[in-house]
Structure 1
Amino acid sequence: MNEIPGETVQEQTFYEQVGGEETFRRLVHRFYEGVAADPLLRPMYPEEDLGPAEERLALFLMQYWGGPRTYSDHRGHPRLRMRHAPFTVDQAAHDAWLRHMRDALDSLGLAPEHESELWRYLTYAAASMVNTAG
């Protein structure tokens, strides 16, 4: 019987399991399509074009889930709360963010266990950005 030595077997990252860069870019693009038309969230993105914000979020999520470290190479430590501090993130913004992210996540058609794991993280991340009561 031929066995593969344990040290040569590599487990796939979540990033690889769900389809890598293409999946995360699709998720983030769909999310920002919703944000572009949202009167509550759109003012939180000072750039005229949402492209830079879309790129930052895609790179962050790819890195977080085991993809390339491009985000940190270009922007340093994520410091998510610090980067969001200038904006009023209340319960209404939290809910709107999650509404658009839920739509984007649903559009991917991921396996239930992957969808569930990603959604748990996204709901945690959204809650951690709230910085204003209301």
Structure 2
Amino acid sequence: MTGHPETLAEAVGGTDALRRLSATFYESVLADPLLAPVFVDFTPAHTEHVAIWLAEIFGGPTRFTDELGGHQALLRAHLGLSITEEQRLRWMELMTSAVSRELPDDELLRRRVMEYFDWGTRIARDVSAGPVGEDLGDPGPTPRWGWNGLITDGERP
């Protein structure tokens, strides 16, 4: 993409920017009566893990896969949460607000980031209906998201 860094991770400002985004977002989530019950087991480490996940998704270092179990671990963390569509939509509203406060004022960048969140929250909602411990099979490698959306075939952004 002309005029943009190669990856979304670079464009947002790296893992530090994603830590700020995650912290801002979860501050509002934990205060939200609709979403707070989903995060009853929330710990400060969650914010860091989300930042590391997003950095990897957006083309940065592969720390989530290397250190935290990758795509399988992320999906398993959502089992049993029974996320409703109403909760998913509220999550998107709060993330939209956090993105507007924390990420660079770049319309394409923000749109691509929010497209990832829309895609990912639908998967989280669907997986959350399964019971804790359910065999998810092999979900494949951690997805990557770039300037044109989902990147396939293991290609780096």
TM-score (norm 2): 0.69
CA distance in 2, matches of 1:116, 1:127: 17
The question of whether the paired residues in 2 share the 8 Å contact of 1:15 and 1:66 is answered with yes
Correspondence for 2:109 = 114
1:26 is displaced (CA, Å) by 1.6
CA distance in 2, matches of 1:24, 1:36: 18
User: Percent identity, aligned pairs only?
Assistant: 27
Pick one of 111, 122, 130 that aligns with 2:125. Answer: 130
Correspondence for 1:73 = 66
1:27 is displaced (CA, Å) by 1.2
Question: Structure 2: any 5+ residue segments left out of the alignment?
Answer: 130-157
SS at match of 1:39: coil
Q: 1:56-110: per-residue Cα shift (whole Å, max 9, x none)?
A: 1111001111112221122112223332111011111101211111111111243
CA distance in 2, matches of 1:12, 1:117: 14
Question: Structure 1: any 5+ residue segments left out of the alignment?
Answer: 1-10
CA distance in 2, matches of 1:16, 1:127: 25
Correspondence for 2:83 = 89
Question: What amino acid is the match of 1:63?
Answer: E
Question: What amino acid is the match of 1:84?
Answer: H
1:118 is displaced (CA, Å) by 0.7
Q: Going by fraction, where is helix more abundant, 1 or 2?
A: 1
Pick one of 22, 25, 31 that aligns with 2:19. Answer: 25
The question of whether the paired residues in 1 share the 8 Å contact of 2:12 and 2:104 is answered with no
Question: What amino acid is the match of 1:102?
Answer: T
SS at match of 2:28: helix
Structure 1 segments, 4+ long, off by >3 Å, are none
TM-score (norm 1): 0.80
Question: What amino acid is the match of 1:68?
Answer: P
Task: Tell me how large the CA RMSD over aligned residues is.
Answer: 1.8
